[in-house]
Amino acid sequence: QKEVEQDPGPLSVPEGAIVSLNCTYSNSAFQYFMWYRQYSRKGPELLMYTYSSGNKEDGRFTAQVDKSSKYISLFIRDSQPSDSATYLCAMSDNAGNMLTFGGGTRLMVKP
Amino acid sequence: NAGVTQTPKFQVLKTGQSMTLQCAQDMNHNSMYWYRQDPGMGLRLIYYSASEGTTDKGEVPNGYNVSRLNKREFSLRLESAAPSQTSVYFCANQKRAGGRNEQFFGPGTRLTVL
């Protein structure tokens, strides 16, 4: 079993929909939780960064962490075609030297 | 500022050939990383370097060597390429600020081993 599990998709939604992307993990030492966005044939770029449990909002994006369930989510409101990309969750322990990534979920937002 | 740059962008090798993937940063960060990305597998860490002159193995180091000769450059070498090493390779660096660690990625090198 992988340390971080993520549904690979693809997830296809109409423009304007609310999107929910999720990851589960098994290592209770993880304290920092990230979402990276990767456009086709590009390198990943950091989208959201959270520490421990709780919610964090940035514009149309909300990251949610539930450490008791070992479950993290990314919500995208009013999704746009430009949101079409692969979304990777990543997490690290307190030392923060290494990240463990999920397999990525491919999202397609159709006009 | 270029950020993290990688060369080459594409490469095709025959089984048994060797090559070096180059990575350079102009962000002055201490830590640098090499990942490989395969379909459905996410990013898997091959090697990382916490600072100039130090390197450590990641999750999938077999078949690879690395070199961190200075703060700016971190290279990945395949001594005898195998088809299982067909992948997209990403170099990254890491910024530490106020308890937050953020990794910045290069554009990737697409490697095919025949």
Angle at B7 between CA B6 and CA B9, to 5 degrees: 95
Tens digit of each residue's pLDDT (9 = 90 or more) over A29-79: 999 999 999 999 999 999 999 988 889 999 999 999 999 999 999 999 999
Residues with Cβ within 8 Å of A22's Cβ and at least 6 positions away in sequence, in order, are: A6, A7, A71, A72, A73, A74
**CB distance from A104 to chain B under 8 Å?**
yes
CA torsion B50→B101→A42→A54, rounded to 10°? 150
Smallest Cβ–Cβ distance between B58 and the set A45, A51, A98 belongs to A98
Phi, psi for B84 (deg, rounded to 5): -65, -10
Q: Give the one of A32, A43, A103 whose C-beta lies nearest to B42's C-beta.
A: A103
CA angle B15, B42, B66 (to 5 degrees): 50
Task: Give the gap in angstroms from C-alpha B94 to the nearest C-alpha of chain A.
Answer: 9
Q: Which residues of B touch A103 (CB under 8 A)?
A: 40-42
pLDDT tops 80 at residue A15: yes
| Euclidean distance between CA atoms A11 and A69, whole angstroms | 23
- Contact B98/A at CB under 8 A: no
- Could you say which of A4, A6, A99 has the minimum Cβ distance to residue B103? A99
Mean pLDDT value across residues B15-19? 97
Out of B31, B44, B106, the one facing A43 most closely (by C-beta) is B106
Chain B: closest CA distance from residue A24 (Å):
14
Q: What pairs with residue B45 in β-bridges?
A: B35
| Closest CA–CA distance from residue B106 to any residue of chain A (Å) | 6
Q: What is the pLDDT of residues B26-85, one digit of tens each?
A: 999 999 999 999 987 789 999 999 999 899 999 999 999 999 989 999 999 999 999 999
Question: Which residues pair with residue B104 across a beta bridge?
Answer: B93
**For strand A105-110 and strand B42-49, is the pairing parallel, antiparallel, or unpaired?**
unpaired
Per-residue pLDDT at B70: 94
- pLDDT for residue B98: 73
Q: Is the pLDDT of residue B21 over 80?
A: yes
User: How many angstroms from the chain centroid is the CA of residue A22?
Assistant: 6
Residue with tokens 């549904």: A7
* Nearest-angstrom CA–CA distance, A22 and A17: 16
**Which whole-number Å values give the CA distances from A14 to A38, A88, A108, A111, in the listed order?**
20, 21, 8, 6
Q: Is residue B81 less than 8 Å (CB to CB) from chain A?
A: no
pLDDT in tens, A76-95: 999 999 999 999 999 998 87
A-B C-beta contacts closer than 8 Å: 51
The pLDDT of residue A2 is: 79
Polymer length of chain A:
111
Mapped onto helix, strand or coil, the DSSP state of residue A102 is coil
Would you put residue A52 in left (φ > 0), alpha (ψ -120 to 50) or beta? Answer: left
* pLDDT for residue A62: 97
State residue B83 phi and psi, 5-degree precision.
-55, -30
